[in-house]
Homo-oligomer: A and B are copies of this chain.
Amino acid sequence: MESNDLRKAGLKVTLPRIKILEILAGNHGRHLSAEDIYRALLEQSEDIGLATVYRVLTQFEAAALVKRHHFEGGTAVFELNEGEHHDHIVCMDCGRVEEFLDCGIERRQLDVASGLGFDIEEHNLILYGRCRREACPHRRKRI
């Protein structure tokens, strides 16, 4: 029940917020930009302004309902915060994004930070590579 998440966050339950949550939930696993969400709303003939999308996403981020990522440059993308932390690997050819979690990496990060005199609060790890998928343009190029 999405409305409860909103109420818990101290946000009024409004149509724009529900719709945006729905779109994020419907694209489970995908990473959407504000513009992506705005266009998805237009397709549903919802009359919601881009400014509202940005405002709502910022509020959601503050309420820990979504996570914001800066993958390559320029535009930020958002995903529902499902609780469990993970990192990302992005294909430089097809843009596909996979998520992963490696305890070894996580542990060493804590060690490194501690060794440098930091109390680590969060981190951001993105691997960039080329995927070996059939559908990937890079793969096609190699044939």
- In the bound assembly, the distance between CA atoms of A120 and B128 in angstroms comes to 6
Indicate which residue in B104, B105, B120, B132 contacts A118 across the interface (CB closer than 8 Å).
B132
11 A-B residue pairs with CB within 8 Å: A70-B73, A100-B112, A102-B112, A105-B109, A112-B127, A117-B132, A118-B132, A119-B130, A120-B127, A123-B128, A125-B125
B-binding residues in A (CB < 8 A): 70, 73, 76, 89, 91-92, 98, 100, 102, 104-105, 108-109, 112-113, 116-133
**Contact: B108 with A130, CB < 8 Å?**
no
- In the bound assembly, the distance between CA atoms of A118 and B136 in angstroms comes to 11
**Contact: B119 with A129, CB < 8 Å?**
yes
